[in-house]
Chains A and B, each alone.
Chain A
């Protein structure tokens, strides 16, 4: 690290790549923290974790016992043996609270603009908006079924909508400004377990349903405008030069050349032709006014496409807004190109995922690694190659959620074992105790014996 600092100082290393490099080094060295602990007040599985988006200082957790808690992860409440920082919850809202949820909290998220509000969703059908400072409910929304997930857009400047997925087939948008539902998005044939707002447009919402479909919605328009299809890949997207020029000659009669090209490329699919053509069309869709014209027709023709066999349990857009990751009860993780809606066919190595529960995935800031709860472990995969990068073992039971603080490069994971574990970048020196003369710790005595 000193080398990087030295290179940055002299201008050999761009400051931006300095930051990227240090971050990825730190993420690569994540391990169960030897200096930081979160004291979980929950008596049930941890279902949801989120670090606030403004300061990356407060962690919000939601648990199956119907409680939600907030921790200051920057400032320890006390130290054990002077070194291990204990982060106790700043407050807990649970069933004892006047307006607490009656059943499990499945989702707890921060209001993206500041830490003054947070939102919880529960199996008791309610979504509640809390004032952080008074820990009172300022608003609630009654949903038609158990709430699986809520999401707010971190880039929205013109709306304050909570998107909520529940056991009901409809996705609802709850408006904090008015306290009412503003939209019901219909299209899924089963409950919606996962939701994600686009990181590039405040109007685009992505939902993943128990029907295996991932739908893209532009909330300014009716209907969904895209359904991801696991069998549509981007292979052959850019035809070689010779063919593309020949294609130019006859726009309609391209069948023969394209077909031959496709067969050369050996796409393992039955009806390549259709796929390809559809794909080309959809590419245009994302650009300009053409989108609106083709809108209604498209969504119906693709209604049955699925992204996963079984339910879509988790969704996560990469920070750069170019890709979407989805996990399904088919124990698959898929990487989608957001622009074209294609399955990138990145083969994420063998994993076993919880099939019935919504999972919370995490992606590094540079979109290079994805953290996936895999039963009692969390696995980190390289997003581009699909290779397993690391496996984090520490929880005793199934892991439900992981959350990466991009500011500190710390990973927080919540599990059915009721623990929130902190995984922090290795800092070997922290274990060391200098002869501070303060004494009191066992290690000091140990060291003194052989350091002199």
Chain B
């Protein structure tokens, strides 16, 4: 039963909806604050760029985000209002680097209809009041008292019903708003009102302007000394104030985002829906406006928000493409553009469709999304883990160790690659042609296995073999000095850094050797009670050549010990428990925090916080990375140190927000790795795999790896075909001709490796691709692409004609095999019992694939089912069909083979406006609806009465806060058969905000446990701005609001791992479960995504 579901975000929202700039974190610091629908990010402006300071979830969809500064405050406050009528005022607490809530409240009303054009929240420039337009016909005012505190809110009737924008005017004695509205006859006007706080009413304002541009949609208030307002239309821009009226024509465009450049408000950046950036200048003589000028600057992503930061650097937040940090140059470049893109921030939104594929056939799903819109449309390949792009490889069997060496201490690049085998050591080097070639280092002993080697100070190399430690000059390559193991003992394990060597011989002897110029000096020797299994002296202190700590893993008592160097005094001993010996230890530092990592022979990894001065270990945590022994090795990528854990499931360990994260790598078994940074392969890794040595570059270190394939057009449907190794995409391209804008629609075929267009089938004029699948039919071995289309004629409200096109991929070309006209838009297609099931407007229609007399094939309709308003989303399982209707929730249909008919079995009678549906199992169906909710319904086949059997029972409800466009079964992670998470079925969803999330169906006992954990977490983790988690997750639509049930908030539960130890303990106490156990269970869940 999939009733108990766990919802978690795998990829956070990236759609930037709001941004603002101000002195939020301190009076001297300039901050950029970005809202990504349900999250806010606070960045600090530094000379090197934007530095992230905080990224927190908000329990609400952010409707407005404004910075303001109450009287007498040295720095700005942040005002946030959410779509569900909550607001809060936040202040930065510099001491704890946290947000504190200054005020919060609810601004919902019993009367009034929620506005259609989006909520408006504005703050008077003189900070006298906050104005909110949330319901048609009402303007809510939250006044400030003279101490800057918020007073009780009240409503003022606004006669203008179709309000498009409201802004406060600058420099008015009384707070004055300017309202842009549309009247009954669709004409647009602006009007001003003074807010009379005492009377709680409006007073007609100083001026009004009638009959503006029909496309006028945006108001820009102009600060003093000019005052007034700029009205942005589709064909004109107007400056308007009590005394002046200036207008200029513009090229027809829709401008939705602006950013003010100067404090005096004489220049503005405007971005239109083609992503063109313009500069609007108000020319003025002193305080008298003389005219407007507009200048084209260049092209950016289609902006939803523009924030001018400083020094001509501008943040362009986008909903339909990647957000950008751009610089406006004084001089145009060769293409005439003043815009220089400094940085891009990946945005997956809007994810209109996606498919889950396993391109590398490793058993791990990848998501390929249709992302972006307009010109910024793209495909994104999203994969969990880190990609290694193999650049070269050689076959080599039996590698036992791998190290890279530089030819001199100061050489930026590695030259040699030392490969150790069971009875020999071979050295590879880059030759002049950038090829790896076997070479020799004379001073090295090549007839034995190398246990360790390293670059030492003074242009020296050190090699440790079972019998000796050899110091070799890296310039002359001659042996300089040698330390021999005492007779009867051989070196078992060894480690070294630039100035030290630590090795262990049989009998528990631990030998510490210091490297001098041309000399090896045995500095200390102790004997321990047991054999030593692993060692590390990676320098983590200030001196990068010298370590004052040594970590030692022991046989027999299964412990890890910290010794001080050079004295080899025991500082700490930590028993690991269990019977598996530590196989690799590593001292390392992430983000300034020192850790000891200790990997066991069974694929488990311990990590401890390490006190570098006392050697104390604390905060022990254990995770399972694989099943085989792990070898740990540090490497750098982009100037940051990470750890590679080589095993049967290679993992990169890194840290983000001072929390250790484990990201798997797209490789199968890896036995050894070492960083190998050569001129030909910069920032690469040498990797020893089964029978192979390869060199590869590593992608950006992050949990999800995203590859962007820009299309330059808006992809709307995607589907993968295993057999032809292709993707098919329905896309549309906006074409700007001299007179008007037209759309062209295509079915495109892409290679699934190169992602290049290999074939295109243009659709007819007005014909849209609505659905696409890859399927085969009974009695036919070919696999086809089926595309459903609609003819969207301008005069028709609802398409009355469409087509189903059946394509075969032959020689990399789309061959049209059959087409079938339909009486409406084909909203959905499904392969169904060797037939094709189409949703066409109100109807579900089943087609069979018939062989005609002449040998050609055609689709022939078999049966259908009426009774939907619009059957938008259809999923099938066996003979069952579930239909997600435009506005009538989910219904369950059954195909009856004998009768050749489709009948309705049951339906959900709630009025849910569906946006996606999926079948979780035979009885439980998952739906997403228009008000950002998820719900599950259950088939009641065992119910007593017909009435009950005909009703799908709602069993789960949850407010996701995201608009889901698609559900697909699948998983982003490799499923390990031994882990608990391996058996949990998951569904992936994609949303408009670029979220990729997981719905996992948990076993009941686990659900109950986590529900308890969640309720405890709610008590400990308080929402930003005092917003309530319970209210946020409650199912909410126009008719009802009910508490969430049978869904768990995975994001909240997984934030347990970010808590401080003391708060973890608090929860552990309330739960009656140890912190370790809780961590383990939550970490297990994080493996779901």
Q: Could you tell me if A1 and B111 are in contact, using CB atoms closer than 8 angstroms?
A: no
Shortest CB–CB separation between residue A153 and chain B, in angstroms?
12
Interface size of B by Cβ–Cβ distance < 8 Å? 80
Distance (Å) between the CB of B869 and the closest chain A CB? 8
Whether a CB of chain B sits under 8 angstroms from the CB of A180 is no
Contact of B203 among A83, A241, A322, A384 (CB under 8 A): A241
If A1-B870, A17-B117 touch, whether A6 touches B768 (CB-CB below 8 Å) is yes
Q: Once bound together, how far apart are the Cα atoms of A344 and B418, in whole Å? A: 90
Chain B's nearest CB lies how many Å from the CB of A54? Answer: 9
Q: Do the beta carbons of B910 and A2 come within 8 Å of each other?
A: no
- Let me know if A10 and B352 touch, CB within 8 A: yes
Q: Which of B768-807 contact A (CB under 8 A)?
A: 768, 770, 790, 792, 797-800
Q: Any chain B CB within 8 A of the CB of A321?
A: yes
The minimal Cβ–Cβ distance linking A73 to chain B, given in whole angstroms, is 11
A-B contact pairs, 7 of them (CB 8 A): A6-B768, A9-B350, A18-B913, A20-B116, A241-B205, A320-B112, A435-B861
Which residues of the other chain, B, contact A253 by a CB distance below 8 angstroms? Answer: none
B887 CB contacts on chain A under 8 angstroms: 19, 22, 407-408
Q: Does A11 contact B (CB under 8 A)?
A: yes
> Does residue A452 face the partner (Cβ distance < 8 Å to B)?
no
A residues within 8 A CB of B76? none
Q: Which B residues are CB-close (under 8 A) to A14? A: 116, 118
- For B791, the closest partner residue in chain A by CB is A2
Per-residue CB contact flags for chain B residues 358-374 toward chain A (1 = under 8 Å, else 0) read 00000000000000010
B842 near A427 with CB under 8 A, answer yes
- Given A16-B114, A322-B137, A430-B842, A2-B792 contact (CB < 8 Å): yes
Interface-located stretch among B87-95, B194-202, B450-458: B194-202
Interface residues of B (CB under 8 A from A): 15, 109-114, 116-118, 135-138, 154, 157, 161, 184, 193-194, 196, 200-206, 319-320, 349-350, 352, 373, 714, 716, 768, 770, 790, 792, 797-800, 823-825, 827, 840-843, 845, 861-864, 866-867, 869-870, 872, 886-888, 907, 909-911, 913, 915, 930-932, 950, 963, 965, 992-993, 1038
List of B residues within 8 angstroms of A74 by Cβ: 907, 909
Bound complex: CA A198 to CA B670 (Å): 71
B350 touches A10 (CB 8 A): yes
Name the one of A18, A200, A432, A434 contacting B111, with C-beta atoms under 8 angstroms.
Answer: A200
Determine how close the nearest CB of chain A comes to the CB of B1005; give it in whole angstroms: 34
Q: Which chain B residue shows the least CB distance to A344?
A: B159
Distance of A239 Cα from B203 Cα, bound (Å): 6
Distance between Cα atoms of A233 and B114 in the complex (Å): 26
| Interface contact A29-B797, CB-CB below 8 Å | yes
Interface size on A, residues (CB 8 A): 64
Chain A residue contacts of B157, Cβ below 8 A: 337, 339-340
In the assembly, what is the distance between CA of A8 and CA of B886, in Å?
12
- CB–CB A55/B204 < 8 A: no
Q: Is the CB of A429 within 8 A of B800?
A: yes
CB distance from A155 to the nearest CB of B (A): 8
Nearest-CB residue, chain A, relative to B161: A384
Contact of A3 among B135, B137, B792 (CB under 8 A): B792
Q: Which of A2, A57, A201, A241 has the most CB of B within 10 A?
A: A2
Task: Check if A15 sits within 8 Å of B911, measured CB to CB.
Answer: no
Q: Are B823 and A429 in contact (CB under 8 A)?
A: yes
**Who on chain B is nearest to A155 by CB?**
B110
Q: Check B861–A241 contact: CB distance below 8 A.
A: no
Please give me the 4 A-B residue pairs with the lowest Cβ-Cβ distance, nearest first: A321-B111, A320-B113, A200-B110, A11-B992
Contact of B196 among A11, A55, A244, A287 (CB under 8 A): A244
* Chain B residues positioned under 8 Å from A432 (CB to CB): 823
The answer to whether the Cβ of A75 comes within 8 Å of any Cβ in the partner chain is yes
Question: Does A320 lie within 8 Å of B136, measured CB to CB?
Answer: yes
Q: Are A430 and B349 closer than 8 Å at their CB atoms?
A: no
**Given A1-B798, A428-B800, A437-B861, also A12-B111 (CB < 8 A):** no
**In whole angstroms, how far apart are the Cα atoms of A418 and B135 in the complex?**
41
A347 CB to nearest B CB, Å = 13
A338, B864: Cα distance in complex, Å = 50
Residues 383-417 of A at the B interface (beta carbon under 8 Å): 384-385, 407-408
A436 interface residue (CB < 8 Å to B): yes
Question: A22's contact among B114, B205, B799, B886, by CB below 8 Å, is which?
Answer: B886
Q: A232 to chain B: closest CB distance in Å?
A: 16
A319 within 8 A of B: yes
Known A-B contacts A19-B930, A57-B909, A320-B135; the reply to A366 vs B872 at CB < 8 A is: no
* A10 to B352 alpha-carbon distance, docked (Å): 6
Q: A238 at the A/B interface (Cβ < 8 Å)?
A: yes
Q: Is the CB of A17 within 8 A of B136?
A: no
Q: Which residue of B is nearest A234, CB measured?
A: B159
A18 to B118 CA separation, bound complex (whole angstroms): 12
Interface SS, A side: loop
- Other A-B pairs, 12, CB within 8 Å; known A10-B716, A15-B930, A322-B138: A5-B827, A9-B716, A11-B349, A12-B373, A16-B114, A74-B909, A241-B203, A244-B203, A322-B113, A408-B888, A434-B843, A435-B861
Chain A residues closer than 8 Å to B203, beta-carbon distance:
238-241, 244-245
Q: A81 on the interface (CB 8 Å rule)?
A: no
* Cα distance A241–B872 in the bound complex, in angstroms: 53
Residues of A within 8 A of B320 (CB): 10-11
Residues on B with beta carbons closer than 8 Å to the beta carbon of A382: 184
A428 to B870 CA separation, bound complex (whole angstroms)? 13
Q: Is A176 an interface residue (CB 8 A)?
A: no
Known A238-B203, A321-B111, A435-B861; contact A407-B866, beta-carbon cutoff 8 A: no
CA distance A340 to B157 in the complex (A): 10
Q: Residue-by-residue, is A198-225 near B (CB-CB < 8 Å gives 1, otherwise 0)?
A: 0111000000000000000000000000
Q: Is the beta-carbon distance between A2 and B799 smaller than 8 angstroms?
A: yes
CB neighbours (8 Å) of A293 from chain B are: none
Contact in complex: A321, B112 (CB < 8 Å) = yes
Partner of B863, one of A29, A319, A438: A438
What's the least CB distance linking A386 to chain B, in Å? Answer: 10
The answer to whether B161 touches A11 (Cβ under 8 A) is no
Min CB distance A55 to B, Å, is 5
Q: Is A159 an interface residue (CB 8 A)?
A: no
**Bound Cα distance from A9 to B117, whole angstroms:** 17
Cross-chain contact A319 with B113 (CB below 8 angstroms): yes
The minimal Cβ–Cβ distance linking A258 to chain B, given in whole angstroms, is 14
* Interchain CA distance A429-B193 in the complex, whole Å: 49
Residues of B within 8 A of A407 (CB): 887, 911
On whether the beta carbons of A55 and B909 are closer than 8 Å, the reply is: yes
Cβ of A25 and Cβ of B797 under 8 Å apart? yes
Specify the chain B residue showing the minimal Cβ separation from A1.
B798
How far apart sit A382 and B887, CA to CA, in the bound complex (Å)? 24
Inside 8 A of A299's CB, which chain B residues have their CB?
none
Q: Which residues of A contact B845 (CB under 8 A)?
A: 434
Judge if A367 is at the interface, Cβ distance under 8 Å: yes
A contact residues around B194 at 8 Å (CB): 241
**Min CB gap A139→B, angstroms:** 25
Query: Residue on A with the closest CB to B846?
Result: A436
Interchain CB contact (< 8 A) of A320 among B111, B202, B843, B915: B111
On whether the beta carbons of A10 and B992 are closer than 8 Å, the reply is yes
Asked if A56 CB lies within 8 Å of chain B CBs, one says yes
B867 partner residues in chain A, CB cutoff 8 A: 85
Residues in A with CB closer than 8 Å to B137 are: 320, 322
> How distant is the Cα of A437 from the Cα of B866 in the complex, in angstroms?
15
Q: Which residues of B contact A8 (CB under 8 A)?
A: 915, 930, 963
- Is the Cβ of A199 less than 8 Å from the Cβ of B111? yes
Report yes or no: A322 in contact with B112, Cβ–Cβ below 8 A. yes
The CA of A436 and the CA of B844, in the complex, are separated in Å by 12
